[in-house]
Chains A and B, each alone.
Chain A
Amino acid sequence: MAKIIVVTSGKGGVGKTTSAAAIATGLALRGNKTVVIDFDVGLRNLDLVMGCERRVVYDLINVIQGEAGLNQALIRDKRTENLHILPASQTRDKAALTPEGVEKALETLSQEYDFIVCDSPAGIEHGAQLAMYFADEAIVVTNPEVSSVRDSDRILGLLASKTRRAERSEPPVQEHLLITRYDPNRVTSGDMLTLEDVREILAINLVGLIPESEAVLRASNQGVPVVHDMDSDAGKAYADTVSRLLGEEVPLRFYGYQKKGLLSRMFGGGRR
């Protein structure tokens, strides 16, 4: 049976899709059979970030409506073994997602995969609720700023009440906090909430801290999940996150103030 992990946040633009792509890839690189599903029907992005947009034929909605089989819709990742992508439909909207259809698809995938990563749409409506409904674990992606923290808090409330586990009174969805776009220098200058601020309000286990990095934007535009870029801070931080998800103890990196050297200041070298 696969473990179903939803990547969610409430707020848009915090890095859900980037994180889902990176974490799914990381899990597959560690030898786990992994499938990543885009639930953002109508605003499909995951295929771009995974670099498989030219190979999409069928999608999740086709599968749910019985127009295509799962194996026809699943796209094998070219770079990583053990990794498949199930894209969303761009021409439909979230009303096309039915609970029964999603449940059936997840059940079938569960037989074959170790991990199912669900990339949730933003918001707290139908699409987002369905993405989280069947989850065993949740990764709540949060930026160190007040509106993102409040929305994440709201999502945590929903995870505790509007999931299958909650409704069946099973052990609750395991919640993980993933802080993204963390810029230690701006935290020090007071522009951003500190790691401690965010943790204090959300009060859940921290699974990763991803520093603000140029590598993330580059990776998204090139369609190569950032974990492949192991020279970058962000790539390393996502790899650490995957290790923690798998139960390993890894010390936290990249949260200290980075003093820029003279040369990098002169040439405006950004953090990789």
Chain B
Amino acid sequence: MSLNMDRVASAFTFKGGMLPMTVMELTSADPEQIRAQLAGKVSQSPAFFQHTPVVLSVEQLDEPHLALERICAVCRAHKLLPVAVRGGTDPVKQSAWALGLGWFPPQEARPRAVEEAPLAAAEPQPDEAEASSTPAVGRIYRGTVRSGQQVTAPEGDLVVVGAVNPGAEVLAAGSVHVYGPLRGRALGGIHGNRQAGIFCKELHAELLSLAGNYKRLEDIDPRLLSQPVQVQLRDDQLNISSLG
């Protein structure tokens, strides 16, 4: 609770916050190469490119000077919004500031590469490619998700070890796994990933949704209630099947 919520005098308060942020780890400084790869990505998962803020990480590059302005332009052309640069030399820092971007010092511990390989093997199977372009970083939540609470995994899967109570909401860019009774609302594939699924040990969900397609409790076959189930999207329909 902001205990000062009833006061009027101050125009704002500063608050510390941890926001989920996509880091774009550059392995090439060539804007054209970046453009080519981005173009491929956009066609695979357009839902991801919706003015998504990204931090450009140049830690893996050894070049003292970067065509930062051109890289940013390429990103913006593909509906990615660079908001800051991480790492790099002093000139890189200066040009980031000149472009109105923030600068972060390089991280000691390298984050796990979000994607394993720079998707060179763009398989003709679009579904496979989309699945593998889902960031691998997920979230594990331990405990009961209570009425009115919302637990989100903005990237990757959400794993809840506990119950999701009525009136609670769990959301994930990827799949939702609930190791306990699912009594609230579960939404997977919130950025449009159609490969996402919902898995739970006991189905009582108020609402199930995958990539915008949903089923209410009322629409669920009563025989599946209280059962361990998996939910998948098939032909724009939620398909619920027992895991038991």
A203 at the binding interface (Cβ < 8 Å): yes
Tell me the minimal C-beta distance from A269 to chain B in angstroms. 38
* Chain A residues with CB under 8 A of B5: 126
Tell me the bound Cα distance from A162 to B6 in angstroms. Answer: 16
Determine which of B1, B3, B147, B162 lies in contact with A150 in the assembled complex, contact meaning CB atoms within 8 Å.
Answer: B147
- Report B159-194 CB contacts with A as 1/0, cut-off 8 Å: 000110111100000000000000100000000000
Tell me the bound Cα distance from A95 to B5 in angstroms. Answer: 11
Determine which of B1, B6, B167 lies in contact with A153 in the assembled complex, contact meaning CB atoms within 8 Å.
Answer: B167
Is A133 touching B146 in the complex (CB atoms < 8 A)? no
Is B1 touching A154 in the complex (CB atoms < 8 A)? no
* Chain A residues with CB under 8 A of B148: 153-154, 157-158
Tell me the minimal C-beta distance from A102 to chain B in angstroms. 10
A201 at the binding interface (Cβ < 8 Å): yes
Tell me the bound Cα distance from A95 to B6 in angstroms. Answer: 8
Tell me the minimal C-beta distance from A17 to chain B in angstroms. 23
- Closest chain A residue, CB of each to CB of B166: A150
Is A153 touching B166 in the complex (CB atoms < 8 A)? yes
Is A157 touching B1 in the complex (CB atoms < 8 A)? no
* Interfacial residues of chain A within 20-53, with CB under 8 A of chain B in the complex: none
Tell me the minimal C-beta distance from B96 to chain A in angstroms. 34
Tell me the minimal C-beta distance from B134 to chain A in angstroms. 29
- Report B16-44 CB contacts with A as 1/0, cut-off 8 Å: 00000000000000000000000000000
Query: Taking A154-B167, A201-B163, A203-B163 as contacts, is the C-beta distance between A133 and B147 under 8 angstroms?
Result: no
A129 at the binding interface (Cβ < 8 Å): yes
* Chain B residues with CB under 8 A of A126: 5-6
- Closest chain B residue, CB of each to CB of A151: B147
- Closest chain B residue, CB of each to CB of A94: B6
Number of interface residues, chain B, beta carbon within 8 A: 17
Query: Taking A153-B165, A157-B146, A203-B163 as contacts, is the C-beta distance between A129 and B1 under 8 angstroms?
Result: yes
Query: Taking A95-B6, A162-B1 as contacts, is the C-beta distance between A203 and B144 under 8 angstroms?
Result: yes
A99 at the binding interface (Cβ < 8 Å): yes
Is B3 touching A153 in the complex (CB atoms < 8 A)? no
- Closest chain B residue, CB of each to CB of A157: B146
Tell me the minimal C-beta distance from A74 to chain B in angstroms. 25
B237 at the binding interface (Cβ < 8 Å): no
Tell me the minimal C-beta distance from A187 to chain B in angstroms. 20
Tell me the bound Cα distance from A151 to B146 in angstroms. Answer: 10
- Closest chain B residue, CB of each to CB of A203: B144
11 contacts between A and B (CB under 8 A): A129-B1, A133-B1, A146-B166, A150-B166, A154-B146, A154-B148, A154-B167, A156-B146, A201-B166, A201-B183, A203-B162
